[in-house]
Chains A and B, each alone.
Chain A
């Protein structure tokens, strides 16, 4: 009897605790101004915001009205997080510029930049390529939405034990070294639409023209991937990826192991893979811009392209931008904070402390830190050099992004390059496949 009573009392107490805990958990908390940055930069931007708050007090004589919370997020998924629950998004957050279309679809989840000072800073500090991709049209009117502060592109990370600086100027140089050492020339981190840009966006070295046209002027229909040059480039790529010492498609073991175990001489990767590459190669890690390649008579067969034409591997050259949540109750403070966070001074400090490549257009000449003799500085320089051989991801709307990445076009490119069962051994077969890819880019259908 007594036992039963004790049990009931305990059960009731537990239920009461749960109810109290629920109410406590749901009670409103003091609402800070929230900033989401990449996980690697949290400490840096926390310190900078502390500096900002001090400056604010000096300038206005008043304390900043809100506590500030700088939080680290996976910047690749920040946009999706915000779209899942707009009200739960940070007041300021960081995204890659190609996320702007989905954030500004419909009535837009982010607020446009209206401060003249901030607009002037954006226009003065950023290269034209970035300025072209941060403006979006919402319901017929164009606004500036993103504040660039970091940039990034693909580079070549290679093993200096086997490759010299001269070798890595051309794929042929790397290929020859691979043959000599019975290794493979380069690994890919992934075979998706971003990583295959080293071939898709290849640029003619002498004319500076890129044969592929991808959503030019933001138009879904403005795509072209069936030129003779593209056919020739694909034939070169096929030769490269079907040779036992050529390129290496992703494996289950992963590119890190291939690099570490000296199966591959190099990897085509973005700066975000730098730490992993360094862990794999240690002191033997070298950084270079993506190499060029020369089309042979075999490569140009069936096209009007001349043998000997030189192409440079291209890259998507992206920027990360700060954006502001629409309808934030702290809206009046956000643009001033962005003016500070995207300033040249902070960009340089961010480069020194977090190895973030600045978006600032004159960084290479004006930042002494970028001329240092370090691998990090080299990584930054090579990325900036790659900006001459790339374009920012040009997706003006979420549909184009979906068509380009998710409707199977990268797999069709891979099929050409791997040429399994010799299905793409003829120019005609390659042309047919390229037509399908172009159709997918334009319409989502083959």
Chain B
């Protein structure tokens, strides 16, 4: 209980710090700094930093202009109107001659305007800090830095900030905002019957999530858990079979005394050199009912008649196991290469010491080789697991999510969450349900990544093998 209290206090102290500093700057600052709280850049101008002050002022003026004039893109406004539209998601129903409000753009522009406002607030705070720093500089050194000096600093000691800023902005614009947009869609009824620009859609709270969890008799809820379970089963087997298969192969290839190691390695690397989709389609044809493999099996009497192993398989598990096996073909070479790299870097002295101590081959493998490989490749293992949860190509190219499942709500027997999401959004325009799956997939992958990585030796003992 006491610990909890301390935790909450620490949290409150932490989040209140910027506000306290903001207040202190206002109280302690010069007249210019005080003015900066109302007119950006005025503090800098007050201290003679004209160009810097002007830049801040332009930012504020630009933001004010943006918010007041509400520029329109595709007849949907940004600016302050975007805030109102974000709440209403449009009011104009439209008719045959006039378009309806585009709820989707309104949602998007609302998010964009919030993003721009947050960036403006960041610049606003930075303007005040800049003026306050000028106060301190005058107090300590009797003068302020010139624009030239500031620019030089930005290209010198603070060059990393200059270069990181565009990257950070890119991440905000191209990753963060779309993610927030997607999350918000999960709380609307944006689906095929409410197409953007044709019919308004609206906020529906947690209804879409409810459909996935609290209505087990409903089609979506009934299908969600099997798809999730198969996604996790697939990710587990696709990751670990490939991983240990790759290590095994690497151990065999890197055996002392084996001739033509490079040739063996090159042969397996060839499967990487061939585009994955080509390998997958070739495999599909190879094992198809009338492909060469089945011809051989039928002719040799192993199969009495051709059977389907993939999209038309009589049993869902036949298709699932086949996919996992085919995935070995495209996945093992990667982990083999990685494990080879790790094996070749194990210090020879470790092996020699072990041999002197009388360790057997298996003990050496268990105590030296494997821990070393696992330590080096844990981040790969985690990213591979996460990658397999969101693996689209293999499923889509081999089976398109089939065989069909009765009552599958568009999801077939081999559909993963991502391929189901694809079908729901691209084929069926059920954007709201797709967004829920997107969020759930994100939660699963991020939890798996965080938990496993933080518990791994690669994270805890970062310097162990250096």
Residues of A within 8 A of B (CB): 8, 11-12, 15, 18-19, 80, 83-84, 86-87, 102, 105-109, 111-112, 138-139, 141, 143, 249-254, 257-258, 261, 263, 326-327, 398-399, 402, 406, 408, 411-412, 414-415, 420, 446
Residues of chain B within 8 A (CB-CB) of A112 are 96
Q: Are A139 and B95 in contact, CB atoms less than 8 angstroms apart?
A: yes
Q: Are A408 and B312 in contact, CB atoms less than 8 angstroms apart?
A: no
Residues of chain A within 8 A (CB-CB) of B290 are 251, 253, 257-258, 261, 263
A8 and B161 CA atoms in complex are apart in Å by: 12
Q: Give the nearest-CB partner of A412 in chain B.
A: B406
Residues of chain A within 8 A (CB-CB) of B192 are 102, 398, 402
Q: Give the nearest-CB partner of B162 in chain A.
A: A12
A406 and B192 CA atoms in complex are apart in Å by: 13
**Contact for B198 among A11, A108, A258, CB less than 8 A:** A108
Q: Are A107 and B95 in contact, CB atoms less than 8 angstroms apart?
A: yes
A18 and B165 CA atoms in complex are apart in Å by: 13
Contacts known (A138-B96, A411-B404); A107 close to B199, Cβ less than 8 A = yes
Interface residues of B in 180-213 (CB under 8 A from A): 192-199
A415 and B97 CA atoms in complex are apart in Å by: 46
Q: Are A86 and B291 in contact, CB atoms less than 8 angstroms apart?
A: no
Q: Are B96 and A86 in contact, CB atoms less than 8 angstroms apart?
A: no
Q: Are A106 and B194 in contact, CB atoms less than 8 angstroms apart?
A: yes
**What is the distance, in angstroms, from B152's C-beta to the closest C-beta of chain A?**
11
B27 at the interface (CB under 8 A from A): no
**Inter-chain pairs besides A252-B309, A406-B427, 12 sampled, C-beta below 8 Å:** A15-B163, A84-B196, A86-B99, A106-B199, A107-B94, A109-B197, A109-B198, A111-B96, A139-B95, A250-B311, A252-B284, A398-B193
**Contact for B102 among A86, A252, A414, CB less than 8 A:** A86
Residues of chain B within 8 A (CB-CB) of A111 are 96
B285 at the interface (CB under 8 A from A): yes
- Digitize B75-99: 1 where CB-to-A-CB distance is under 8 Å, 0 elsewhere: 0000000000000000001111111
Residues of chain A within 8 A (CB-CB) of B404 are 408, 411, 414
Contacts known (A11-B163, A106-B199); A253 close to B291, Cβ less than 8 A = yes
B62 at the interface (CB under 8 A from A): no
**What is the distance, in angstroms, from A234's C-beta to the closest C-beta of chain B?**
17
Residues of chain B within 8 A (CB-CB) of A326 are 96-97, 99
Residues of chain B within 8 A (CB-CB) of A249 are 312
Q: Are A408 and B407 in contact, CB atoms less than 8 angstroms apart?
A: yes
Interface residues of B in 92-125 (CB under 8 A from A): 93-100, 102
Residues of chain A within 8 A (CB-CB) of B285 are 253
Q: Are B93 and A252 in contact, CB atoms less than 8 angstroms apart?
A: no
B51 at the interface (CB under 8 A from A): no
Q: 6 A-B contacts, Cβ less than 8 Å apart?
A: A105-B195, A106-B199, A107-B100, A109-B198, A139-B95, A251-B290
B40 at the interface (CB under 8 A from A): no
B410 at the interface (CB under 8 A from A): yes
A261 and B285 CA atoms in complex are apart in Å by: 14
Q: Give the nearest-CB partner of B428 in chain A.
A: A406
Q: Give the nearest-CB partner of A105 in chain B.
A: B198
A415 and B285 CA atoms in complex are apart in Å by: 26
How many residues on B have C-beta within 8 angstroms of the other chain's C-beta atoms? 46
Q: Are B99 and A83 in contact, CB atoms less than 8 angstroms apart?
A: no
A308 and B438 CA atoms in complex are apart in Å by: 55
Residues of chain A within 8 A (CB-CB) of B93 are 106-107
B308 at the interface (CB under 8 A from A): yes
A86 and B76 CA atoms in complex are apart in Å by: 13
**What is the distance, in angstroms, from A101's C-beta to the closest C-beta of chain B?**
11
Contacts known (A106-B100, A257-B290, A398-B192); A250 close to B312, Cβ less than 8 A = yes
**What is the distance, in angstroms, from B181's C-beta to the closest C-beta of chain A?**
14
B408 at the interface (CB under 8 A from A): yes
Q: Are A8 and B406 in contact, CB atoms less than 8 angstroms apart?
A: no
A18 and B408 CA atoms in complex are apart in Å by: 46
**What is the distance, in angstroms, from A21's C-beta to the closest C-beta of chain B?**
13
A38 and B94 CA atoms in complex are apart in Å by: 30
Residues of chain A within 8 A (CB-CB) of B297 are none
Q: Give the nearest-CB partner of A84 in chain B.
A: B196
Residues of chain A within 8 A (CB-CB) of B311 are 250, 252
A251 and B408 CA atoms in complex are apart in Å by: 20
A12 and B165 CA atoms in complex are apart in Å by: 12
Q: Give the nearest-CB partner of A326 in chain B.
A: B99
**Contact for B193 among A19, A105, A109, A251, CB less than 8 A:** A105
Q: Are A411 and B196 in contact, CB atoms less than 8 angstroms apart?
A: no
Residues of chain B within 8 A (CB-CB) of A139 are 95-96
Interface residues of B in 292-326 (CB under 8 A from A): 306, 308-312, 314
Q: Are A105 and B199 in contact, CB atoms less than 8 angstroms apart?
A: yes
Residues of chain A within 8 A (CB-CB) of B162 are 12
B159 at the interface (CB under 8 A from A): yes
Q: Are B163 and A87 in contact, CB atoms less than 8 angstroms apart?
A: no
**What is the distance, in angstroms, from A182's C-beta to the closest C-beta of chain B?**
12
Q: Give the nearest-CB partner of A420 in chain B.
A: B314
